[in-house]
Amino acid sequence: MLGSRYIASVPPCPDGSSTCESKCSIAQVFNNTLFGYARNLAPSNIRLLNNEIFTESIKDGNFIESEYPIAVLCHSKIASNYNYSSYLVQFLLPLDIAGSTYNLLKTDYLVDEKLYVWATDSYTFVNFIEYDASTITNVSQHMLIQYAGDNIMIDLSSDENGTLYSITTDKPVNVIAHVKRNSFFYQFGQSTPYNRHGYNIVPVPSSSNVDPPTDGTVTNQTVSGITYHHISNYGWPHRSNFIKEERNKPVLNPNQEPGDGIDNDKDGLVDEEYCGFLSEGCGGGQKLEPMLFCTLCDLGTFRTNQSKIDKCIPCGENLTTFENGSVSQDQCVAQCEEGMELNNDTLLCEPCQIGFYKNVSANDSMFDINERFWCLPCPDGLTTYDFGTIHNYECIALCTEGMELNNVSMVCEPCELGYYKGVPANDTRFSVGERFWCLKCPFNRTTRAVGTKDIAGCIANCQCPCDRVNEVKNYTSEELSKIIEEMKNQLSVNKAHLSATLRKKISVMDQRPSAKSIGYVGAILIALVFGLLLGFDIAILDAFE
């Protein structure tokens, strides 16, 4: 629906929080439309250029005003996984169709049903009456919405089917229903649109804006002269015979001439601006949306500049595109699934190499182009068993030469005695068994130590003959002490008989001149000393004679 004044009412998250992704989109009817949004009409002006759509995270309760008619859509992402995303989508009702009286009937087959009452003015008094026709009782609630753009929530989920409700206010309000249909009674694709999780956002018209359907569909119940309407029958797309829209449609002069630059209907607009978009259409790589604005072609589709068709054309089976907005069939490439990547030369899909993985399809728009088309390397020190690995948790330890993979702990350990491994785990020339586990040495051969890296390290497995192997015997502590003492005696050495001791007492002939000179000098000195002593003794003897 079209209007120039709105209050942003973003669909709630399923758990009642505000953490899910939520945005509002504003689409223009006339080129170069100026609009603003902010709480309490604080200015934040933006001008939409030709065929432009504005998308922003606009908070609940923000006023949105424009100089020309616009359409406003708000959505919240309520679920997302590898296969699809699920949204709650709400087309906002313009403030000029807000009402002050709403008479509603509890809908069948709804397991969750909440009403949100949005105030268009400050200090709005709300009177809510719940009427149970079976017990002829009613319960009243009186509430105050303090600020324009705020809302109150009324939970109807626990009420019985057929319960009647009346909402009256002293100032105009908009009422939005957040409903979830019981999956037992609901099949996807029915005329009333529910998303994959059974949710729907329902703009509820006031009693003054509702006309009974002309096709005989039962949508209401009259009690005491008051008509109460089923909530679930109000959904998007709105039925043209059900909600009055005439006041929001632009009035066009049938005699206008596009391109004349004349304001024929005196509305301040040049009329050919309204027709210009429809005559020009969307450019290459774009498609026309129901709200008459262009968006880029999705992945796996394209649209040429010359195409007269408003929809993008699928590339074909097992084909996709690098980016959104492709303009030619030539931009379609192979759609490589998980574990496969695009060969840049042949443009064909090939399995991921050893040590790489890919868990994303090339047609999954949630990821960037590199993740969609090419495999990612395992973290440092890790590799894969084989080609075409899908998940990163399949990356395992990269065991080098002499190391093998422990199948329990999944870590690398040295080859045991009698085994060897001369191949690293990432050498694609060899089989998985040769790359990850050690090979046994040939018959009657073993290795000197663990972690042998080559078959050359396998040596003869020499074993002592049986007759040379001592018989094993268990000794008592006394016997063992005696044997040790005997071994000590046998192993003890007499230092006096050692060659080092004996050599200390032996002189060795030295024929060097210097050695001989020193020997001569020493002999002379010794002789001189003894001669002097002898001379002194002789002199003393002579004196006594």
3-state secondary structure of 432: helix
Higher-pLDDT residue of 41, 526: 526
Cβ 425 vs Cβ 433: under 8 Å: no
Cα distance between residue 455 and residue 458, in whole Å? 5
> Mean pLDDT throughout 238-264?
40
Banded pLDDT at 136 (limits 50, 70, 90) = low
Cα distance between residue 542 and residue 292, in whole Å? 155
Banded pLDDT at 74 (limits 50, 70, 90) = confident
> Mean pLDDT throughout 83-88?
68
CATH number for 3-91: choose from 1.10.3470, 1.10.3720, 2.60.290, 2.30.30. 2.60.290
Give residue 25's pLDDT. Answer: 85
Give Rg (Cα) of the chain.
49
The pLDDT of residue 419 is above 60: yes
> Which of 93-102, 143-152, 444-453 holds the top average pLDDT?
444-453
Lowest average pLDDT, out of 98-102, 491-495, 520-524, goes to 491-495
Cβ 373 vs Cβ 445: under 8 Å: no
Bridge partners (DSSP) of residue 405 are 412
3-state secondary structure of 184: helix
The pLDDT of residue 332 is above 70: yes
Give residue 66's pLDDT. Answer: 79
Higher-pLDDT residue of 182, 233: 182
Q: pLDDT digits over 204-226, tens only? A: 777 776 655 544 444 567 777 77
Banded pLDDT at 149 (limits 50, 70, 90) = confident
Percent of the chain surpassing pLDDT 90: 12
Q: Which helix (H) or strand (E) holds 138?
A: strand 137-145
* Phi, then psi, of 203 in degrees rounded to 5: -70, 120
> Mean pLDDT throughout 90-104?
79
CATH number for 399-460: choose from 2.50.20, 1.25.40, 2.10.50, 2.60.120. 2.10.50
Cα distance between residue 445 and residue 466, in whole Å? 19
Banded pLDDT at 273 (limits 50, 70, 90) = very low
The pLDDT of residue 375 is above 90: yes
Burial class (CB in 10 A: 0-12, 13-18, 19+), 379: exposed
Query: Beta strand pairing status for 226-230 and 99-105?
Result: parallel
Banded pLDDT at 134 (limits 50, 70, 90) = low
Amino acid letter at 399? C
The pLDDT of residue 84 is above 70: no
Cα distance between residue 517 and residue 523, in whole Å? 10
Which residue spans within 147-247 are E strands per DSSP?
151-155, 164-181, 199-204, 220-223, 226-230
Give residue 377's pLDDT. Answer: 92
The pLDDT of residue 380 is above 70: yes
Give residue 243's pLDDT. Answer: 33
Cα distance between residue 50 and residue 280, in whole Å? 11
DSSP string, 8-46: --PPPPTTS-S-S-EEEEEEESSTTEEEEEEGGG---EE
Higher-pLDDT residue of 20, 468: 20
The pLDDT of residue 311 is above 50: yes
3-state secondary structure of 535: helix
Burial class (CB in 10 A: 0-12, 13-18, 19+), 348: exposed
For CA atoms 22, 28, 32, 38, the dihedral sign is negative
The pLDDT of residue 8 is above 50: yes
Give residue 127's pLDDT. Answer: 92
The pLDDT of residue 177 is above 70: yes
Cα distance between residue 298 and residue 303, in whole Å? 10
Higher-pLDDT residue of 188, 377: 377
DSSP string, 335-387: ---TTEEE-TTT--EEEPPTTEE--S-TT-TTS-HHHHHSPEEPPTTEE-SSS
The pLDDT of residue 146 is above 70: yes
> Which of 90-99, 467-476, 512-521 holds the top average pLDDT?
512-521
Banded pLDDT at 350 (limits 50, 70, 90) = very high
Q: What ranges do the domains of the chain cover?
A: 3-91, 95-248, 336-393, 399-460
Q: Which two tokens stand for residue 327?
A: 């303009």
What value does the mean pLDDT of the chain take? 76
Give residue 337's pLDDT. Answer: 92
* Cut 0.75: pTM above it: no
Cβ 414 vs Cβ 428: under 8 Å: no
Amino acid letter at 71? A
Cα distance between residue 356 and residue 364, in whole Å? 19
Give residue 274's pLDDT. Answer: 40
Lowest average pLDDT, out of 248-257, 324-333, 385-394, 475-484, goes to 248-257
Residue 181 contacts by C-beta under 8 Å, 6 or more apart in sequence?
109, 110, 111, 194, 198, 200, 232
The pLDDT of residue 424 is above 70: yes
Percent of the chain surpassing pLDDT 70: 71
Give residue 15's pLDDT. Answer: 63
The pLDDT of residue 161 is above 70: yes
Q: pLDDT digits over 470-486, tens only? A: 566 777 888 888 888 88
Give residue 235's pLDDT. Answer: 37
Cβ 364 vs Cβ 374: under 8 Å: no
* Phi, then psi, of 440 in degrees rounded to 5: -80, 140
Banded pLDDT at 340 (limits 50, 70, 90) = very high
Exposure string of 69-88, with b = 16+ CB inside 10 Å and e = fewer, is: bbbbbbbbebeeeeeeebbb
Give residue 301's pLDDT. Answer: 92
Burial class (CB in 10 A: 0-12, 13-18, 19+), 393: exposed
Bridge partners (DSSP) of residue 294 are 288
Question: In Å, what is the CA distance from 82 to each residue of 308, 365, 401, 405, 510?
Answer: 34, 10, 39, 33, 97
Bridge partners (DSSP) of residue 439 are 420
